[in-house]
Amino acid sequence: MPQKQSTLSAARVPRRDVLYGLGASLGSVALTAMMADDLAANPNAGPMSPKPQHVPAKAKRCIFLMMEGGPSHLDTFDPKPKLKQLHLKEFNRAGKQKSAMESGKRYYVQSPFDFKQAGQSGAEMASNWEHLAGVADELCFYRGCQVDSVNHPTAMYQMNCGNRFGGDPAMGAWVTYGLGSINQDLPGFVVLPAVSYPQGGSANWSNGYLPAQFQGTALRPSGSPILDLDPPAGIPRQQQRLNLDLIAELNRRHAAKHPTHQDLAARMSNYELAFRMQMQVPTVLDLSDETERTLQLYGVNQEPTRTFGRKCLLARKLIENGVRFVQLYHGSWDSHDYIQRAHGSLVRAVDQPIAALIQDLKDRGLLDSTLIVWCGEFGRSPDNGVRGGTAYGRDHNPNAMSIWLAGGGVKAGHTIGATDETGAEAVENVHHVRDLHVTLLRLLGLDDNKLTYYHAGRFKQLSQFGGKVIDELIA
């Protein structure tokens, strides 16, 4: 007679669930009990709930100004008089003579911009930064950062996510993972991209291997800020609430059968967030409640400051309403030629809005608790090929760049680090970008060694393998 089929075989329990069940030891039971106690103490707790800082810090939120394309430090905030002496002289890397067979001669290029010292701190900046000069004493310039790539997408990934090859969480995702969100009706991490996405696309604000709640929410620059945010015509809010409740109940039943599947819980949370955002987002993004003086301050009603001025003003409104991390993109800084024309127009578009943002936050008492970061993905070279005799520009340079910080406990009114006499390489207070990331986290009260997530067999972090805080940047 055939043997009776075992209960386990008949039930066809998935191997994954068997292993999960075997893991229900005293340790996991204790963990479940503690989680239940935490939930009872705070029934509204969730992955985006506010969390305490690891270490005391002034900054509670961050506005990250990403100048995509690689602004030239030599033509913005790091003057090099030596380049005037070398202008149009042939460039020989490392002092080596070029072979006669080598194509494309390269020449040193001086900056087409004059420089000035601004504020009581004497901050050095190109004279076309007319408005930013007015808040120079709020800025901390850093000239010692280096990155690994001269390729735009990989350099963007490294600056935003710590990894040149994409797929890792963005800094904004790490910050909201570590600190949660102050306003549960808005995303904790909001991105204001240009009309076209930056090189590397939306992976620049990805949640990576962190739960999906921590992905950056990109707001469209025109039209509806988020597609399909509003319910279909004729569907009242009460009916939408009932539909979501039914879907949530079905999802909870499914989740109970598959306790290791975290994506479903994230999806349920995002449905609820989207429902709440229908009420909050239109109000936050409405600029009609701003005074005419404020609109003029940011340059919202004029060109060429209209687009970036609106982004900067929205960034202020978003952090005022509890968004933890806001990243603004401004593109086209990749100036291989005609740098006077290219950088000139780019500076005109962002100068007034950025200065207005800093001054407005200060006037509202928010600058001390808001960290502002300005940077690109790399710097530029002191040399380039010359086309037509006058089309001076610059190539990519991972060894030298200018970054500045403001607010949030930074050492305002100081310039930290230095580059060599031609600006080709950082030579003082030199740090890899991983150290910059660790420092930015510390300014926000987060310890990179504690801010980890277990994935692919090890605990991972923004700096990849750890880094060092750049103490000189912190007041």
| Of residues 193, 208, 194, 150, the one with CA closest to residue 377 | 150
Percentage of residues in the chain having pLDDT higher than 70: 74
Higher local confidence (pLDDT), 208 or 7: 208
**Contact present, 125 and 74 (Cβ < 8 Å):** no
Give SS3 for 301.
coil
Please check the confidence at residue 472 and state whether its pLDDT lies above 60: yes
Banded model confidence at residue 106, pLDDT cuts 50, 70, 90: confident
Q: What is the pTM of this model?
A: 0.82
Please check the confidence at residue 97 and state whether its pLDDT lies above 50: no
Please check the confidence at residue 302 and state whether its pLDDT lies above 60: yes
Q: What is the DSSP string of 205-249?
A: G--TTS-GGGS-EEPPSSSSSSTT-SPPTT--HHHHHHHHHHHHH
Cβ count near 457 (within 10 Å): 6
- Report the distance separating Cα 163 and Cα 169, nearest Å: 9
Higher local confidence (pLDDT), 10 or 425: 425
Alpha-carbon radius of gyration of the chain: 26
Please check the confidence at residue 68 and state whether its pLDDT lies above 80: yes
Please check the confidence at residue 76 and state whether its pLDDT lies above 50: yes
**pLDDT score of 320:** 95
**pLDDT score of 6:** 41
The stretch 104-115 carries a mean pLDDT of 89
**pLDDT score of 21:** 40
Comparing 234-238, 247-251, 269-273, 412-416, the range with the smallest average pLDDT is 269-273
What lies within 8 Å, CB to CB, of 377 at 6+ separation is 68, 69, 70, 147, 149, 152, 155, 156, 158, 159
Each residue's pLDDT tens digit, 115-152: 999 999 999 999 999 999 999 999 999 999 999 999 99
Highest mean pLDDT among 40-54, 83-97, 130-144: 130-144
The stretch 99-105 carries a mean pLDDT of 47
Each residue's pLDDT tens digit, 15-41: 444 433 434 333 333 333 343 444 445
Report the mean per-residue pLDDT for the chain. 84
**pLDDT score of 1:** 47
Each residue's pLDDT tens digit, 326-376: 999 999 999 998 899 999 999 999 999 999 999 999 999 999 999 999 999
Highest mean pLDDT among 16-30, 98-112, 149-163: 149-163
Q: What is the b/e burial string over 5-44, where b = at least 16 CB atoms within 10 angstroms of the residue's CB?
A: eeeeeeeeeeeeeeeeeeeeeeeeeeeeeeeeeeeeeeee
Comparing 4-8, 221-225, 399-403, the range with the smallest average pLDDT is 4-8
How is residue 166 written in tokens? 């994409």
**pLDDT score of 5:** 44
How is residue 260 written in tokens? 């290791």
The stretch 393-400 carries a mean pLDDT of 95
Higher local confidence (pLDDT), 176 or 196: 176
- Report the distance separating Cα 202 and Cα 216, nearest Å: 9
**pLDDT score of 32:** 36
Give me the count of residues in the chain: 475
Owner of token pair 């504020």? 119
Dihedral sign for Cα atoms in the order 190, 195, 198, 201? positive
How is residue 170 written in tokens? 């963005």
Higher local confidence (pLDDT), 412 or 92: 412
CA angle 21, 23, 28 (to 5 degrees): 110
Banded model confidence at residue 181, pLDDT cuts 50, 70, 90: very high
